[in-house]
Copies of this chain bind each other. A is one copy, B any other.
């Protein structure tokens, strides 16, 4: 079981040191270990959790809902059904997000084509 310093975790997860501390403060990251000097020492489990957080965050989940998820995880195995529900509903949201993005992207591409057509029209006499 490896142990990581804040710097290493920031490097690995892409979160800044401040964000790591912020997540701990608000309870998104519980019980981070400390060394004798009071400095944080992260476990593989912490890093795994942070990678999960990153997935959720990058797919647009608000912090409030990640907190709800974190709370379920903290409560133990009997919340697994609820966690599945939460993640499945988020997964649906991601699906809708992608569909919307594709649709709007189509409109943007049509606009690009429109501009290209305009440019293709001879300008002078």
Q: Which residues of A contact B (CB under 8 A)?
A: 52, 55-56, 58-59, 77, 80-81, 83-84, 87-88, 90-91, 94-95, 97-98, 100-102, 104-105, 107-109, 111-112, 115-116, 118-119
Contact yes or no, A104 B58, CB < 8 A: yes
Contact yes or no, B84 A116, CB < 8 A: yes
Interface residue from B84, B88, B94, B108 paired with A59 (Cβ < 8 Å)? B108
Taking the closest CB of chain B, its distance from the CB of A62, in whole angstroms, is 15
Whole-angstrom CA separation of A109 from B101 in the bound complex: 20
Q: Is the interface of A mostly helix, strand, loop or mixed?
A: helix
Q: A80 contacts which chain B residues (CB < 8 A)? A: 115, 118-119
Q: A84 contacts which chain B residues (CB < 8 A)? A: 112, 115-116, 119
